[in-house]
Amino acid sequence: MKKAERTFIFFGLIGLCFSLFHGIDLAQAKDPDYPTKPINFYIGMGAGGLHDLSCRVIANAASKHLGQPFAFINKAGAGGSLAAMAVITAKPDGYALGGISTSAIVAPFFDESPYKDLSGLTMIANFGQFINPVVVRTDAPWKTWKELVEYARKNPDAVKIGITGAKVVGGFRQWQVEKKENVEFAYVPFKSGAEIVSALLGGHIAISCASVDASLMSWVKEGKLRLLAFMETGKMPGYENLPSLQEMYGLVNPNVSGVWGPKGLPDYVVKKLDDAFAKAIKDPDFIGFMNKQYMPILYMNSAQMTKHIDDLFPKVGEKYKLLKAEEKAKEKK
């Protein structure tokens, strides 16, 4: 055999071996049996709240179809951005996911945010949304939303609204109403929706726009509180006649509850998770929980959720830019 032929065969065998081993590596990398171990699930709020509980319930329902449990890790603080960063910096292998919260989505619009956009995340699914009613005490002088607005217009800063955090976070939707109706509300910050409702019952504020839950509705049923409107389009059965401020004023607000993962997740991982969460929303335990908490099920798969966020994110950014500029101008006065 000639030397040239031996050389050709030698390198050909090396190439064949490389291809075989490379194929094995790809097969292993693809992990067709995914998941083969527990999946970390980061939650950006404290334990026991509605965001925390809803994430746990939907994830546990999905685990029945994935064959592996979720390990829940609460990383509260910084408006959910700490948990989001844990997901962003995780290895994109499907073993690190997180719960999507509104505050984590809007975090990039603030200077202190560790991430400036959502490009480091993969949208997996949306499973629900929060209902945020405008609630007043039953002895309040306003019986309708229109009456409340007329009073606020004649009495600037007289109507106190309880919000979570600063105005640029918790008062984002109410500020948009101010611009549309040419009124001025007074904003009182609290740490949680439960504190807001307690302050409302005590007469320290006039309005609560906190997310509805079983506790708030118990006060409504007892006749202590009254619903005037809903911030978004989501309404509860029996209250369909109340106005939606989102529809009235075209409010922009990312009211979502879902699951995301890090950028670069393999397609097979996204598909496996997509299928699992699509089945999870039909789980009786999940449906029962959502109904008990007055939280509508709103499902979007990965593609639908990605499009929704891509469309909404710049619109929210434009509004936040205006609000931040207005707040800075007030600080200088």
State how far the Cα of 245 lies from the Cα of 249, in Å rounded to an integer: 6
Q: Can you identify the CATH homologous superfamily of domain 133-253?
A: Periplasmic binding protein-like II (3.40.190.10)
pLDDT in tens, 118-176: 999 999 999 999 899 999 999 999 999 999 999 999 999 999 999 987 787 788 899 99
SS3 label, residue 122: strand
pLDDT at 28: 38
Q: How confident is the model at residue 1 (pLDDT cuts 50, 70, 90)?
A: low
Residue pointed to by tokens 């909404």: 312
Residues 6+ apart with CB under 8 A from 201: 137, 219, 224, 225
Q: How confident is the model at residue 291 (pLDDT cuts 50, 70, 90)?
A: very high
**Token pair of 323, please?**
């609000």
For the question of whether the overall pTM of this predicted structure is more than 0.75, the answer is yes
What's the CATH fold of domain 39-129+256-324? D-Maltodextrin-Binding Protein; domain 2 (3.40.190)
pLDDT at 333: 72
The number of beta carbons lying within 10 Å of the beta carbon of residue 4 is: 8
**Residue boundaries of the structural domains of the chain:** 39-129+256-324, 133-253
Looking at per-residue confidence, does 57 or 13 come out higher?
57
Instruction: Determine the average pLDDT of the residues in 181-185.
Output: 95
In the chain, the largest separation of any two C-alpha atoms, in whole Å, equals 104
Residue 17 has pLDDT above 90, yes or no: no
Identical fold at 39-129+256-324 and 133-253? yes
Q: Which amino acid is at 28?
A: Q
Q: How confident is the model at residue 242 (pLDDT cuts 50, 70, 90)?
A: very high
User: Is the peptide bond between 189 and the residue preceding it cis, with omega within 30 degrees of 0?
Assistant: no
Residue 109 has pLDDT above 80, yes or no: yes
Residues 6+ apart with CB under 8 A from 327: 167, 168
